């Protein structure tokens, strides 16, 4: 590394950035010319593999089928859970704003899940 000590002069000074910049200035003059070797290697690399367009809809369809399959395979558990959810919901006073907030939250969660599932990476 280097033999000089770095001290923090202020609370918002970043000593690590200063150390990296100083080392970069020292080693910038030591550049070795590779006569285009790096450029030739990068040009010889194959193109990145593209994912098929049908992949995301197929994954969404498989998750939906898995959800339906679980609901069909475990009808007793599904009805028990839905009955308990209804009992918890109906046991409380419900207002129009509460219903609207619940619908808005579900719409937001659905939109976020769809955006994450369908994003282009």
Q: What is the pLDDT of residue 2?
A: 53
Q: Mention every residue, 6+ apart, whose C-beta is less than 8 A from residue 18.
A: 6
**Structure-token pair, residue 89:** 């919901």
pTM given for the model: 0.30
- The pLDDT value given to residue 88: 86
Q: What is the pLDDT along the chain (121 residues), one digit of tens a residue?
A: 455 555 545 545 688 888 888 888 877 777 778 888 989 999 999 988 888 888 899 999 999 999 888 878 887 887 888 888 888 878 877 788 888 999 999 999 999 999 988 887 6
């Amino acid at each position: 590394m280097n033999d000089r000590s770095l001290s923090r002069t202020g609370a918002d000074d970043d000593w690590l950035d200063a150390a990296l910049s100083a080392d970069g200035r020292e080693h910038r003059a030591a550049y070795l010319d590779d006569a285009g070797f790096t450029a030739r290697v990068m040009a010889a690399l194959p193109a990145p593999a593209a994912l098929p367009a049908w992949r995301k809809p197929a994954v969404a369809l498989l998750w939906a089928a898995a959800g339906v399959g679980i609901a069909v395979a475990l009808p007793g558990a599904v009805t028990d859970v839905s009955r308990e959810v209804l009992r918890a919901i109906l046991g409380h006073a419900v207002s129009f704003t509460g219903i609207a907030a619940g619908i808005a939250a579900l719409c937001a969660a659905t939109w976020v899940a769809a955006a994450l599932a369908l994003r282009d990476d």
